[in-house]
Each structure stands twice: as C-alpha cells, then as structure tokens.
Structure 1
Amino acid sequence: MPKYRKLIRLAGILLSLPLVIVATPGLTQQNSLNFIFGISGDVQIKRDGRNSYQQVYIGTLLNPSDRLRLGKGSSAKVFCNNLSTWNITSQGEFSVSSGCPSTEKAILIRNGSNRVDTRTPNDPTIPYIISPRDTAILNDKLNLRWNVVKGATSYQVLLRGPGVNWTTQVKQPEVTYSGKETLQPGSRYRVIVTADNGVSSENETPTGFTLLSEENAKRVKAEITQLEKQSLTNESKILALAYLYKSNNLNAAAIDLLAGLVKQGNQTTAVYQLLGSLYQQVGLNRLAKEQYVTALKLAKAEKNLEAQAIIQASLGEIDITLDNLQQAFESLQAAQSGYRTLGDEQQVQQLQQKLDDLTGRLSS
C-alpha cells in the first residue's frame, strides 16, 4: 500500500505542474506568421490548395507556402516572422518563403489553437473578469477590470496566488493592484470579484493570469526593442506588436493596443478582426462579436472575400456559444459560400460538418 500511495502522490504532483509544449521545427515553420503592411498597385496572393490568385489587403496573413504576384509598377511590404521586413518592388511572382524564411526561431507565430473553452456566454448579470483574463502579463503593473453588474453599487476584489492574498472594496468596475506583496515571475494568479448583490465572477468559468518568467520577459522586451527599430507606420507597428504579444500569450496587452487604435477611429479590417480573435481566445464572446461585426462591414466594403469568410466562420462559432443557433447557421453558411468562391474545398468540407450538426440541433 505505501508503494501505491507514493505513486498517487507522484501523479498528483505531475498533474499540478504546468504543461510545457515543445514546438518541433516543422510545427514552428508551419505556424510562423507574416503579414502585409504596405501595398501599391496590383498585388495578389495564391494560397496553397487554391487554384486562383486573389487580391491582397493590408493585414493579410501570409503562410510560407503562399505566392505573391505583383503587376507592373506595383510594390508590397511584408512584415516577417523574424521581425524583419521584406520589400518587393519588382513585377513577378514570389514565394513567401523566399522573402520571409521560416526558421526554428520564428518570433511571430499563430497560436490560436490554445483558445479557452468558448462555451462561456458572458452572463451580463455576473461581474465576469475582462482583464487580465486567461493571459500572460509582462510586468506586475496590474489594472483589473470586470463587467458592470446592473444595480450593483460596490465590488469586493480578491487577488490570490503565490505570495499574494490581497482584498479591496471599490465602487467602480476596475482597480489597480496596490498590494505590498510582489507578484512572482512564472506564477499564476486568480482574480475573484463579488458584487454587493452577492453575484461573483466565480459563477462563470474561473479565469486567471500568469506573470511571465524573468527569462521570457527579458526575451520579449528585447524582441519589442528589435521590432520598434523597424521603419513602420503607426498602424503597422501596433499590428506587429499585437501579433508579438499574442505569440507570447500576452493577450491583455495586445487587446489594449488594438482597442486604443479602434478608439482613434481606425478603419482597417485586420485591426478589428485581430481584436475580435483575441477577445474570442480569452472567452469574451460578446465583445468579440462586436469587433467581428465591424470587421465584416469593413471587409464587405473593400470586397475582401477571404476576410469575410474567416469572420463569418468566427461569428458562427460565437453565436453557437451564445445559443443563437439560427444566426450561427446563417453565418457558417455564408462562410462556406465564401470559401467555395475562393476554391478552398478543405474549409468547405469542414464547415459542412458544422452545418450538418447545427441542422440536427435546429430540427430537434
């Protein structure tokens, strides 16, 4: 029996340790992220698996296997996964991998696969956490925000984690952490907010945040310095920084950057699309939907077929979460139509499976 007790204790320790995912070279190359930040003239893209070229737009994400085609007198600027820029100024066809080489050390990566449980509907009667929510943070300067509960006049805020046990009472739906205890690098913390009517953020799926380890924080700060040395427009720099933050799970920082750009009246589809994606990744589905709706309007105005299809598919996922099944069906159907026009049969088939499932749920 002692032997089994030791095994059980060992299993418990292993389960309590953070999951470390080691990226293989092939996976890193496949997930490397590059994007268009400048276009002049006729610039088109051909995705792997599609038969035809489509127009390129500011913010278009590029895979290593994609090909760009530039007409006479056209030019394009690409921000690469290693934080370098690739300026194309001549007519012809170009493989993205030739200008933005995929290495084992890609800095910008597509890490959307770590999306949290999207079944959270964000009940407006709950003071659910808005920020920091399922994110890493770069430093201990911490501003906590949560959903406003109608009728509530005050909130109790608790911050719990290694070395920290902080409580405060406030009237507004936000507060800056002012405890004497220092957040520990590499440690995870949980925020619990309870409104004076007794409703708690714990009534939703519990959320938390992690302070980056000293090693990772040092690396990210060096990458930010490297990025800021590039000659970019303000919009492009913010997009690049947002992708850098997202690549390191610094979702709260990325959201704050893009939300600031939106407040300035930005009208670029990719900005709203990325902001919607970040909100969706941390489980803030209602806020994600607001950004996606705006992004879809902008994508339709510029006739950006690929962005429309991606956004409509995302809206479908969110409406399933919010139990708006008919709206979800219509969005997924529109996305499927878009991908069919683009010649992306793989996406068409994947969406058909979701539509078949929704058809069964709607008819039951």
Structure 2
Amino acid sequence: MQIDRKKISFLAILLSLPFITVATPGLSQENSLNFISEVKGDVNIQRSGRKNYQKAYGGELLDSSDSLQLGKGASTKVVCNNLFIWNIQSPGEFSVSSGCPSTGKPVLIRNGSERAPTRAPNDPAIPYIINPRDTAILSDKPTLRWNAVKGANSYQVQVRGPGVNWTTEVKQPEVVYSGKETLQPGSRYRVIVTADNGVSSESEAPAGFTLLSEEDAKRVKAEIIQLQKQPLRDESKTLALAYLYKSKNLNAAAIDLLAGLVKQGSRTTSVYQLLGSVYQQVGLHRLAKEQYLTALKLAKAERNLEAQAIIQTSLGEIDIVLDNLQQAFESLQAAQSGYRNLGDEQQVQQLQQKLDDLKGRLTS
C-alpha cells in the first residue's frame, strides 16, 4: 500500500490543531438551548419572525424570542438552558423568555452548527473510528469501536498521546482500553486501527478523544445529577442528558444514550434526529444519514412540517459530503418547500443560495 506524503502532511497539520473539550465561559444567549421535553394536548409554538403558530410534538428547540400557546387541558414541560424544568399546566400564551430567563452561563448550548463538518465519506473498506471520535470523555477506560471491514480477521489497535503508547490486537471491531499507562485529564489521544489487510483508519482522517480535566468532569457530573433528579419521564430525561452531553462535547456518551433508546424501539422523531446530528457533528455521515431517514419517516407520519424541513436540510448537507449531489438538491428543495409553508422566508432564502450553488455544480 503506497503512502501519500501530502496526506500525511495534511493529517499532521490537523493533529496540531487545538481540540475543543467543553463549552467556554461567556457564551451568548443566542447559543443557549431550551427544548420541549413533553407535550400533552393542544400545544403550539410561534417562532420569532413567523406569523402563524405550529403544532408542538416534543423535542423542539426553543429560542428565547419564541412563544408557546396552550389550549384548555393542555400541558407541557420545557427543559431550560440552566436545567430548570418549566412546567406549564394552564391555557394561554407564554413567552419562552419568561419561563426560561437568561442566565449568565447556560449549561445547555447549541455547539454543533459552528463546527466545520469532517470532509470524509466513511469508506466501508476502511476501519474508520466510530467511538470515541472527536469527543471528550469522562471515563479513563473508554470502549473503542470502529467500522468492521469485510474480509478482515483481526485488527491492531493503538492509542497514542501524552504518557500513553498502547497497542493490542483483537478479532472483533471493539475493545476497552486496558493499558497500564493512565490517561491524563485534559490530554488529547489518537486512536489508530489497522486491519490485517493493511488498511488503516488513518487513511480517512485522524480520530481521537480528550479526557476531561478533573475540574470540568466534576462540574459535568454535578449537572448530570441535577438533571437526573428532575421530574421527567424516562425517555425525556435520557434525551435531556443527551443534549447535556452534546453541549459539553461528550459526543461518545450522547451517542451511547441515544443508540440505547433506538435499540429499545423508540418512535420519537427527536431521538433519531439528535442521534443523526451527533453523528454528523463527528463526521460519521453514513450513520447520520441512516438516523435522519428514520427521523424523516416518523416526522412525515405525524405531519411534523418543521422537523421534516430541518431533517431534509441535514440530509442535503450530508449528501453533498458523500457527493450525492442530485439527492442533496432534492432534499434541500423539499426543505425549502417546507419552510415556505411554515412562513420562514429567511430559511427559504438561505436554502435558495445552496440550491443555486448545487444547480451550477450539477450542470457543469
């Protein structure tokens, strides 16, 4: 197998970049995250900039400028960005800013949209890293998982980083780190997997993790305990924890939680939508697409127009990375139609720019 020296140089540059572990102080309230966790009866949302209310299904993210409208006998619970549960049990109209007031430093944030997507197609012939990948972790004994390569009988697994130079060989595409060298809090580690046919995960892109510092880990664990005590149904609490993990860049933990709900047979659109979002954030585009397609099917069944538009936009972004340009065009076009029906002209215009760009690429 020939070595591409330019690719190695590019990978070395990537590895030299700083690795973000947790949310930094002073984040704008525009980045804060509030979401509807439970809905009973006639509950509607009015988005800022839109004239009409839309039905709430549960799982929707809320801006402080949005409003909720409840009919007679309806109720809803909103998880606020400071982990406070806003429980509305009476009819009327309520501004999100009144129930989830601004805090100095929000706990839940939207930390995915500002990260550049990994430009990697997840070639099935490569043992690319699945977990932990572009993530912070709490445990110093992480479970390492990668893509099973067809025809491979064994894999060499390496973990490299400050004070650690660990190698083992396994037959299955999973192993728990068991090195004698202790992972150092705050340090960045790289995972490298090589199949017995010589193909390495490094052929795709560098992947790894950072063990949270003791201070950050202590803070996150306290927030987890706080959230676990809140009066939410089991699935709602798990979804809230997944949002908390994602806010702290604990992507591996968020994936494990959400994949557990999927395995249990969840039929909640937002579960598959959020799992797709985390996969997309760490560059696992094929796995993200699989979850988004399930979420889209569920959203269509419940006639959830906003969820459909959001998911179709994400599917378009993923198919651009996977070089499925015609599929990307069709998804973005469907998303634009959905936003037009919702009266969101800002999203319509933003999607038009993407469609114009795609149209040029398709006809060139």
Aligned equivalents of 1:316, 1:145: Cα separation in 2: 27
User: Aligned-pair distance for 1:42?
Assistant: 1.0
Aligned equivalents of 2:251, 2:226: Cα separation in 1: 20
Aligned equivalents of 1:20, 1:69: Cα separation in 2: 37
Q: Is the 8 A contact 1:28 1:109 kept in 2?
A: no
1:55-99 CA-to-partner distances (Å, cap 9, x unmatched) read 011111111110001112221111111111111111111000101
Q: Is the 8 A contact 2:310 2:335 kept in 1?
A: yes
Aligned letter for 2:311? I
Alignment of 1:279-294 (within 5 A): 279-294=279-294
Aligned equivalents of 1:269, 1:179: Cα separation in 2: 39
Aligned equivalents of 2:188, 2:343: Cα separation in 1: 44
Aligned equivalents of 1:16, 1:42: Cα separation in 2: 49
TM-score (norm 2): 0.93
* Matched residue SS, 1:102: coil
User: Aligned-pair distance for 1:24?
Assistant: 7.1
Partner of 2:210: 210
Partner of 2:335: 335
Partner of 1:100: 100
Aligned equivalents of 1:154, 1:24: Cα separation in 2: 44
1:300-340 CA-to-partner distances (Å, cap 9, x unmatched) read 00010000000000000001111111110000000000011
**Structure 2 residue 121 is the aligned partner of structure 1 residue 121:** yes
Aligned letter for 1:104? G
Alignment of 1:241-256 (within 5 A): 241-256=241-256
Aligned equivalents of 2:200, 2:210: Cα separation in 1: 21
User: Aligned-pair distance for 1:207?
Assistant: 1.3
Q: Is the 8 A contact 1:135 1:251 kept in 2?
A: yes
Change (3 A) 1:92 1:253: same
Partner of 1:196: 196
TM-score (norm 1): 0.93
Change (3 A) 1:124 1:55: same
User: Aligned-pair distance for 1:41?
Assistant: 1.6
1:196-239 CA-to-partner distances (Å, cap 9, x unmatched) read 11100000011111000110000000001111111111101100
Structure 1 residue ranges (4+ consecutive) displaced by more than 6 angstroms after TM superposition: 19-22
User: Aligned-pair distance for 1:350?
Assistant: 0.8
1:78-126 CA-to-partner distances (Å, cap 9, x unmatched) read 1111111111111111000101112122111111134343321000000
Q: CA RMSD in A?
A: 1.7
* Matched residue SS, 1:210: strand
Aligned equivalents of 2:18, 2:333: Cα separation in 1: 42
Partner of 2:271: 271
Change (3 A) 1:262 1:207: same
* Matched residue SS, 1:112: coil
Aligned letter for 2:100? C
Q: Bigger CA drift: 75-84 or 113-122?
A: 113-122
Aligned equivalents of 1:17, 1:339: Cα separation in 2: 37
User: Aligned-pair distance for 1:37?
Assistant: 1.6
* Matched residue SS, 1:265: coil
Aligned equivalents of 2:312, 2:17: Cα separation in 1: 38
Aligned equivalents of 2:192, 2:171: Cα separation in 1: 15
Partner of 2:143: 143
Q: Structure 1 unaligned runs (5+)? A: 1-11
Give the number of equivalent residue pairs: 350
Alignment of 1:5-84 (within 5 A): 25=26, 27-84=27-84
Q: Is the 8 A contact 1:153 1:171 kept in 2?
A: yes
Partner of 1:168: 168
Aligned equivalents of 1:313, 1:266: Cα separation in 2: 23
Query: What percent identity do the matched residue pairs reach?
Result: 77
Change (3 A) 1:17 1:134: closer
Change (3 A) 1:327 1:28: same
Change (3 A) 1:24 1:135: closer
* Matched residue SS, 1:231: coil
Q: Is the 8 A contact 1:116 1:282 kept in 2?
A: no
Partner of 1:177: 177
Q: Structure 2 unaligned runs (5+)? A: 1-12
**Structure 2 residue 300 is the aligned partner of structure 1 residue 300:** yes
Aligned equivalents of 1:357, 1:50: Cα separation in 2: 26
Partner of 1:321: 321
Aligned equivalents of 2:62, 2:195: Cα separation in 1: 45
